[in-house]
């Protein structure tokens, strides 16, 4: 009986225990299923965009731990939190860089993110660096009202920020940088009052910085850099007193920096570089005692650098370059004991360069001098630097004599820029032995040959010695410096052949040996070099056939001004990435129509002053990227093919592209020499992208001008002079809205100059001399300014106010008046000739009668 009682008691206990709910220590099933659907969707997309046979292919293994058989709280990239009732829910998803690099774009419209929006317990969601493309799904994000941290950086989201995102009032961290978002920033930002971090950099946002932003008083980090924001910086910026980092660089902001910036006493980073700010640095800046990095570069700041800058004890980086600051470098700067980087280049600073700069022990990077500055180095000064500089840039600082030997004490030096000074002497051996990464000594007066020791360096990546007086042959061991990326030796007196070992420099990106006295007909084989894109061997004494030993990666090839001869090689077409081919002033022969390189990417083709024959083929229109074509000074015959009017890049006005500073200095290629407005001029490499030219002059081209040339609205210059062209000037030339110089001279063109040329607002030169033109020169617009007589000379019947010749139709009415005057005059004279004798004889008769009458009366 007792045993039975005990058994019943145990069963009762087990029943009661079983009826008590046991807390779950695994994630909810609906959240697990949502995550598995996300994995399935993204795996399908990745597989459909992958090629297992590709060298870049990597099996998708990022979410391998996401198994239906395991607890999702144990999965990689998933964090769970225990609730009050001791259940676990998913609160964090760290899905950054899930998509492999070989997958270019993952469309958001594939509903890839929808499963994530079902997990409404999320507080942290990181989907950065996944190549997601499309508009941000606002409805989905609007459901995640508990989000505290949202990171969407480095995707390809476009459109504007959806309104639903502003419902996430608990957000403290929002990063939407490096996308393609656009539109303005509106008052809705004020709803995100808990934000401490807001990053919208590297997008396409426009308009002014909204006042609502200055109500987010909890902000500690604000980054709006790399957008298209305009307007000024409001004094309300002073309300954000918790800011530690403010980045507004690379926009179009104007005006001055308000004094209220001094209220941000917690600020450690202040970056407003590359805008359009002006005025002086506000004196309140000296209140920012925690400031570590100040970037005001690339603006129009002026006046003197305030001495208060030197009272910022935590400053490590100070960049005031590319402004209009005047006066001396303030002595207070020597108090910046933590300063590591000082950039003052390209200002209007004046005075002697202070030697105390080299006593700042923490200093590692020094950039002073440059364009527009009037700082002068005292060449009599002897210094012993207390700092360990890694980078020295002191261009245009008045250095003279030999390269200062104190530089040899800087054992950590990896960049030396002493360009645009007056340095003399030879390249010192001690400098060759220093193993410096970048040596820039261009635009000095250095002489002698280059020491072979220089090319034993394994660190040398940039060697820029252009426009000096170096001479001799290049050392045979130049190929040992295999780390060189930029080799610029133009404008010297180097001679001999190019050493064959130079092709061993596997990292070589740019090779500029132009304007020297190099010679020979044998060239290194660059075909195996995967990086060499820019080659300039122009203006030397090379001979033989055009070399073709270049890499298929070559983009710019300049061989003009040499002694090359023979036919244009057919296998130039193999250079499929070639954009710029300049072979002017050689002795290249052959039929142009047979050897024209069919390279779709070709943008610039200059074959001026060679001996090419044949004609311009209709296939010229296949060069869809061509925007500069110069074949002047050859022996081309035939007609101008109408297909030339289909060159797409000449049909549109080119866009102005930005230029970039690479390796801390701007790379300049040699100018492209063109016959620009009746004189040969160099077109800067930085301007090539904004010009279109067509020069067919000084050939034997005949036939009429095709009307299709009027399609080329992007042309700046059209020159077909010194040919045998006949017919009329097409009326369609009035469509050349971008044309500045139009030269049709020395042909057999007849008829009149079309009135449509009066629409050419950019036209500054019109040369139609030595033709057979007749009629009135058009008036209106720029045509009224075409008053150079020589540009209309030697035509058979031109007239107009520009050449001060009255047109026949302008004198018709005046001649009619002259005829009337003549008629009236004839009548008057006729009356005179008739009336005179009648009157004369009448007078005689009267007198005779009177005398007889008097005689009769004997009055005397």
Percent share of the chain, pLDDT over 70: 85
Q: Which tokens in the block code for residue 644?
A: 């030339």
Environment class of residue 383 by beta-carbon count within 10 Å: exposed (0-12), middle (13-18) or buried (19+)? middle
pLDDT of 49 reads 75
**pTM, two decimal places:** 0.85
pLDDT at 11: 43
Q: What residue spans of 109-222 are helical by DSSP H?
A: 114-117, 138-142
**Mean residue pLDDT across the chain:** 88
pLDDT tens-digit series, residues 702-744? 999 999 999 999 999 999 999 999 999 999 999 999 999 999 9
Q: Answer yes or no: is pLDDT of 843 > 60.
A: no
Between 203 and 656, residue with greater pLDDT: 203
Nearest to 238 by CA among 227, 246, 230: 246
Residue scoring higher pLDDT (833 or 202): 202
- Picking from 10-24, 236-250, 468-482, which range would have the lowest pLDDT averaged per residue? 10-24
pLDDT computed for residue 109 by the predictor: 61
Q: Which residues contact 101 (CB under 8 A, 6 or more apart)?
A: 56
CA 116 to chain centre: 40
Give the end-to-end CA distance of the chain in Å, rounded to a whole number. Answer: 207
Tokens linked to 854:
């008097």
Q: Which residues contact 119 (CB under 8 A, 6 or more apart)?
A: 31, 34, 35, 90, 93, 144
User: What's the pLDDT tens digit per position in 172-181?
Assistant: 999 999 999 9
Q: How confident is the model at residue 528 (pLDDT cuts 50, 70, 90)?
A: confident
Angstrom distances, CA of residue 283 to CA of 275, 310, 391 = 20, 12, 30
How are strands ordered across the β-sheet holding 772-776?
702-704, 724-727, 748-751, 772-776, 797-799
Q: Is the pLDDT of residue 666 over 90?
A: no
Is residue 855 scored above 50 in pLDDT? no
State the average pLDDT over residues 533-556: 94
pLDDT band at 810 (very low <50, low <70, confident <90, very high): confident
State pLDDT tens for residues 110-150. Answer: 688 999 999 999 999 999 999 899 999 999 999 999 999 99
Say how far apart CA 144 and CA 97 lie, in whole Å: 21
CB atoms within 10 A of CB 450: 23
As a whole number of angstroms, the distance between CA 777 and CA 783 comes to: 8
How many residues can be counted in the chain?
860
Q: What is the per-residue pLDDT for 48?
A: 79
Structure tokens at 116: 């994530």
What pLDDT, on a 0 to 100 scale, did the predictor assign at position 834? Answer: 39
In this predicted structure, the answer to whether residue 428 has a pLDDT above a threshold of 50 is yes
pLDDT higher than 50, residue 663? no
Burial of 338 (0-12, 13-18, 19+ CB in 10 A): middle
What confidence category does residue 350 fall into, taking pLDDT thresholds of 50, 70 and 90?
very high
Please check the confidence at residue 832 and state whether its pLDDT lies above 80.
no
At 537 the pLDDT is 97
DSSP for 270-283, written as a single string: EE--SSEEEEPPPG
Confidence of residue 676 (pLDDT cuts 50, 70, 90): low
pLDDT tier for residue 678 given thresholds of 50, 70 and 90: low
Tokens read off for 729: 């000037």
Q: What is the pLDDT of residues 76-123, one digit of tens each?
A: 999 999 988 878 999 999 999 988 765 666 676 668 899 999 999 999
| Both structure tokens of 666 | 């701007």
Q: What is the mean pLDDT of residues 577-605?
A: 93
Beta-bridged to residue 277, according to DSSP, are 255
Structure tokens at 663: 């390796």
- Is the pLDDT at 830 greater than 50, yes or no? no
In three-state form (DSSP H/G/I as H, E/B as E, the rest C), the secondary structure along 637-670 is: ECCCCHHHHHCHHHHCCCCCCCCCCECCECCCCC
The percent of residues in the chain predicted with pLDDT above 90, rounded, is: 77
Q: Looking at residue 15, what is its pLDDT?
A: 43
- Mean pLDDT, range 608-619, rounded to an integer: 96
pLDDT at residue 101, rounded to an integer:
64
DSSP letters, 378-403, are -TT------S--SEEE-TTS--EESP
> What are the phi and psi torsion angles at 704 (to 5°)?
-95, 160
Q: What is the DSSP letter of 685?
A: G
pLDDT for position 779: 93
Q: Calculate the dihedral angle through the C-alpha atoms of 799, 802, 805, 808, rounding to the nearest 10 degrees.
A: 40
What Cα–Cα distance (Å) separates residue 295 from each residue in 237, 262, 664? 17, 15, 16
Provide the pLDDT confidence category of residue 857 given band limits of 50, 70 and 90: very low
Instruction: Print burial letters for 193-204: b (CB count within 10 Å at least 16), e (below 16).
Output: eebbbbbbbbbe
């Amino acid at each position: 009986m007792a045993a039975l009682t005990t058994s019943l008691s145990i069963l009762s206990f087990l029943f009661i225990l079983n009826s008590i709910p046991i807390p779950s220590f695994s994630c909810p099933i609906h959240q697990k299923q949502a995550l598995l659907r996300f994995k399935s969707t993204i795996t399908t997309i990745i597989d459909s965009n992958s090629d297992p046979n590709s060298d870049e292919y990597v099996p998708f293994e990022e979410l391998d731990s996401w198994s239906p058989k395991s607890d999702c709280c144990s999965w990689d990239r998933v964090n769970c939190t225990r609730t009050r009732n001791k259940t676990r829910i998913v609160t964090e998803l760290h899905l950054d860089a899930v998509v492999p690099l070989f997958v270019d774009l993952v469309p958001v419209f594939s509903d890839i993110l929808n499963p994530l929006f079902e997990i409404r317990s999320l507080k942290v969601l990181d989907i950065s660096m996944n190549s997601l493309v499309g508009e941000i799904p606002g409805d989905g994000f609007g459901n995640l009202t508990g989000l505290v941290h949202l990171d969407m950086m480095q995707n390809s989201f476009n459109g504007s920020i959806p309104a639903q995102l502003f419902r996430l009032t608990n957000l403290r961290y929002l990063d939407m940088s490096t996308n393609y978002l656009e539109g303005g920033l509106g008052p809705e930002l004020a709803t995100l009052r808990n934000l401490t971090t807001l990053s919208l950099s590297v997008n396409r946002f426009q308009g002014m910085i909204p006042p609502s932003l200055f109500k987010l008083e909890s902000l500690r980090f604000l980054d709006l850099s790399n957008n298209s924001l305009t307007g000024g910086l409001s004094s309300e910026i002073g309300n954000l007193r918790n800011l530690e980092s403010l980045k507004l660089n690379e926009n179009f902001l104007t005006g001055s920096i308000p004094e209220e910036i001094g209220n941000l006493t917690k600020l450690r980073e202040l970056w407003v570089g590359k805008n359009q700010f002006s005025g002086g640095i506000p004196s309140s800046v000296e209140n920012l005692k925690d400031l570590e990095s100040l970037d005001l570069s690339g603006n129009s700041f002026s006046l003197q650098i305030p001495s208060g800058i030197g009272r910022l004890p935590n400053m490590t980086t100070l960049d005031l370059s590319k402004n209009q600051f005047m006066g001396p470098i303030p002595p207070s700067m020597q108090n910046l004991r933590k300063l590591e980087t000082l950039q003052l280049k390209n200002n209007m600073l004046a005075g002697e360069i202070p030697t105390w700069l080299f006593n700042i022990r923490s200093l590692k990077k020094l950039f002073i001098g440059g364009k527009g500055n009037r700082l002068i180095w005292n060449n009599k000064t002897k210094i012993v630097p207390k700092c360990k500089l890694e980078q020295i840039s002191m261009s245009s600082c008045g250095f003279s004599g030999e390269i200062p030997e104190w530089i040899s004490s800087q054992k950590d030096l990896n960049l030396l820029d002493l360009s645009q000074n007056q340095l003399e002497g030879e390249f010192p051996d001690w400098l060759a032995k220093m193993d410096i990464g970048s040596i820039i000594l261009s635009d000095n007066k250095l002489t002698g040959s280059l020491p072979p020791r220089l090319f034993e360096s394994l660190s040398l990546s940039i060697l820029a010695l252009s426009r000096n007086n170096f001479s001799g042959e290049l050392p045979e061991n130049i190929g040992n410096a295999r780390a060189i990326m930029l080799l610029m030796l133009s404008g010297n007196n180097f001679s001999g052949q190019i050493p064959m070992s130079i092709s061993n420099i596997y990292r070589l990106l740019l090779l500029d040996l132009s304007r020297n006295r190099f010679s020979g007909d044998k060239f290194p084989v660059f075909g195996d070099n995967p990086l060499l894109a820019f080659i300039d061997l122009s203006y030397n004494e090379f001979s033989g056939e055009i070399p073709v030993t270049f890499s298929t990666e070559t983009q710019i090839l300049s061989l003009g001004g040499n002694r090359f001869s023979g036919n244009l090689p057919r296998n130039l077409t193999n250079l499929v990435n070639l954009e710029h081919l300049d072979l002017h002033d050689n002795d290249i022969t052959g039929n142009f129509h047979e050897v024209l390189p069919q390279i779709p990417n070709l943008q610039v083709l200059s074959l001026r002053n060679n001996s090419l024959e044949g004609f311009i083929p209709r296939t010229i229109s296949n060069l869809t990227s061509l925007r500069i074509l110069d074949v002047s000074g050859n022996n081309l015959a035939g007609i101008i093919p109408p297909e030339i009017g289909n060159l797409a890049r000449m049909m549109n006005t080119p866009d102005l592209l930005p230029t970039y500073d690479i390796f801390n200095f701007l790379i300049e290629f040699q100018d492209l020499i063109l016959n620009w407005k009746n004189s040969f001029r160099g077109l800067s490499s930085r301007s090539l992208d904004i010009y279109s030219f067509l020069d067919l002059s000084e050939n034997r081209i005949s036939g009429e001008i095709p009307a299709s040339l009027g399609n080329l609205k992007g042309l700046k210059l059209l020159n077909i002079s010194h040919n045998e062209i006949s017919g009329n000037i097409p009326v369609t030339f009035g469509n050349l809205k971008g044309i500045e110089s139009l030269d049709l001279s020395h042909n057999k063109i007849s008829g009149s100059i079309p009135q449509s040329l009066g629409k050419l607002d950019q036209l500054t030169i019109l040369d139609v001399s030595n033709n057979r033109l007749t009629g009135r020169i058009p008036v209106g617009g720029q045509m009224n300014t075409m008053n150079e007589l020589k540009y209309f000379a030697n035509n058979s019947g031109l007239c107009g106010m520009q050449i001060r010749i009255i047109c026949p139709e302008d004198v018709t009415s005046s001649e009619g008046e002259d005829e009337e005057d003549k008629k009236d005059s004839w009548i008057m004279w006729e009356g005179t000739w008739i009336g005179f004798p009648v009157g004369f004889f009448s007078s005689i008769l009267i007198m005779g009668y009177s005398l007889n009458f008097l005689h009769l009366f004997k009055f005397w």
